[in-house]
A and B are shown apart, each in its own frame.
Chain A
């Protein structure tokens, strides 16, 4: 399958901090998507990016579709406790969606 490299694997956040994560691939994708998964639930779509170079916001979330179509990043501004969870990037080609391994976000004690 197509390999998506997502980083970091995990991060600790303090309320109010900005958070960044990114995804790279050796393959070109037509669409990049970012999902969030809470414990015991399925992933939920956060942002969808359909055009190379596109920068899209959804509330405190901002994501960009890299100009080469091989990468994307997600920023979360002014994090709040409910931002904890696992974030997945996903690239879409044909009828298949390939996922990164996820970034686990937890609250710093």
Chain B
């Protein structure tokens, strides 16, 4: 059971480049979400999805897009990377979020130069 799998583990981008951070879970979880972690700020919610075909914005959604075409996958897209998006990104999933806790992936460390 792989749990929540994030790829890549590390990425360096130049300002203005685009890329997609991948997240997949094999636990048939309905709820998936993306967080960014910056020093001294904890984890901040970027976008979340309560099921396939449904997405919504979190606390810091600007500069990021998501889609949820399948239950398993929840990719995060950066359309035009900026240095302010340098961070560690975590994907997390839960069975239904209401009464089941989040399971986190191991993160993607992104540097934008």
When the two chains form their complex, are residues B44 and A99 in contact, meaning their CB atoms are under 8 A apart?
yes
A-B contact count (CB 8 A): 57
Residue interface mask B55-98, A partner, CB < 8 A = 1? 01011100000000000000000000000000000101000010
Report if A33-B101 is in contact (Cβ < 8 Å); known contacts: A42-B106, A42-B107, A95-B56.
yes
What separation, in Å, do the CA atoms of A40 and B40 have in the docked complex? 16
For A98, the chain B residues whose CB sits under 8 A away are 45, 59
- How many A residues touch the partner, as a band? 20 to 34
For A40, the chain B residues whose CB sits under 8 A away are 106-107
Q: Is A44 an interface residue (CB 8 A)?
A: yes
- Given contacts A45-B101, A95-B56, A96-B45, list 7 more A-B pairs with CB under 8 A: A1-B58, A4-B42, A42-B4, A43-B43, A97-B102, A98-B45, A100-B42
What residues make up the interface of B, taking CB atoms closer than 8 Å to A? Answer: 4, 31, 33, 35, 40-45, 48, 50, 56, 58-60, 90, 92, 97, 99, 101-107
